[in-house]
Amino acid sequence: MAKSDEDRLLDHSYDGIQEYDNPLPRWWLWIFYATIVFVPIYYLVPGDIGAGKGMIARYEAEVAAYKASAPPPAAWDAAAFAARAKDPALLASGKTVFETNCAACHRADGGGLIGPNLTDDAWIHGGQPAQIHVTVTQGVLAKGMPSWERLLKPEQVDAVIAYVLSLHGTNPKDGKAPEGTADTTAVAAPAAPAPGA
Ligand code: HEC
């Protein structure tokens, strides 16, 4: 650009404002061209805009990968539970879990308070170990029975179910009246372990 062209006033005047016709500075132009080169790269490279995978797609891919790597736990095994339901160590830890988490509503002796009596033959949701497992893990949220699935470890759930079954027939003083339907088979004692087993 010839020196003579610099600071040459254009011969118009808008409301008294006049302007030069100077070229844009080099550095400004280079940045401008750089942005033009950058756009297609930015558009194609994975990022949050453009053709690349967006945040949501990447999140979903991560979730899918996680689910594939961690299959859901196997269904609860009632038979395996029955085999150890009388294990004194399991019952002892179940007692602790019960006193800590359940006694507030079911009373320490299971006689019932806010929640129903757990020592009688009557069950609202069924007294089979597998049914109790569902009640305890899922809860009965509408009726005030919390879901324990995320609060207790599977081992603690097993322990507390064993303990609840062991409360059957203890007939504590001033227990709540039976609620639900009788299910006497439910709480039939699991087979005692063979001697020495
Ligand atoms: C916040 C109070 C509360 C706590 C804590 C609670 N429960 Fe319950 N539970 C209830 C209520 C209320 C019901 C009755 C639900 C209904 O009427 O359907 C119930 C029902 C049950 C039943 C089903 C009884 C039946 O007749 O079918 C079982 C089993 C049970 N709870 C076990 C437990 C265990 C085990 C714990 C501790 C890990 C526990 N509950 C903690 C309130 C509670």
Q: How far is the CA of 51 from the centre of ligand 1 (A)?
A: 52
- Domains of the chain with CATH codes: 3-69 (no CATH), 78-182 (1.10.760.10)
Question: Is residue 126 helix, strand or coil?
Answer: coil
**What integer is the mean pLDDT of 165-181?**
92
Residue 165 Cβ inside 6 Å of ligand 1? The answer reads: no
Cβ–ligand 1 contact at 137 (below 6 Å)? no
Taking the centre of ligand 1 as the mean of its atom positions, its distance from the CA of residue 132, in whole angstroms, is: 9
Q: How confident is the model at residue 183 (pLDDT cuts 50, 70, 90)?
A: confident
Q: Please state whether the predicted TM-score (pTM) of the whole model is above 0.85.
A: no
Q: Is 148 in the pocket of ligand 1 (CB under 6 A)?
A: yes
Burial class (CB in 10 A: 0-12, 13-18, 19+), 116: buried
56-90 pLDDT per residue, tens = 888 999 999 998 888 777 788 889 999 999 999 99
113-169 pLDDT per residue, tens: 999 999 999 999 999 999 999 999 999 999 999 999 999 999 999 999 999 999 999
How far, CA to CA in Å, does 25 sit from each of 29, 33, 38? Answer: 6, 13, 20
For a ligand 1 pocket test, name from 145, 153, 166, 176 the mutation site with the most ligand atoms within 8 angstroms of its C-beta: 145
Q: Ligand 1 centroid vs 87 CA: distance in angstroms?
A: 23
Tell the residue nearest (CA) to atom 22 of ligand 1: 135
Give the CA distances from residue 110 to residues 128, 152, 155, 163, in Å, rounded to whole numbers and listed in that order.
17, 19, 20, 10
Taking the C-alpha atoms of residue 65 and residue 75, their distance in angstroms, rounded to an integer, is 22
Distance 49 CA to ligand 1 centre (A): 50
- pLDDT score, position 47: 63
pLDDT at 71: 75
pLDDT at residue 188, rounded to an integer: 47
How many Å apart are CA 104 and CA 115, to the nearest integer?
Answer: 9
Contact between 165 and 147 (Cβ < 8 Å): no
Comparing 23 with 104, which gets the higher pLDDT? 104
Rounded CA separation 94/91 (Å) = 5
- Ligand 1, residues 105, 141, 167: which to mutate, most atoms within 8 A of Cβ? 105
pLDDT 10s digits, 86-113 = 999 999 999 999 999 999 999 999 999 9
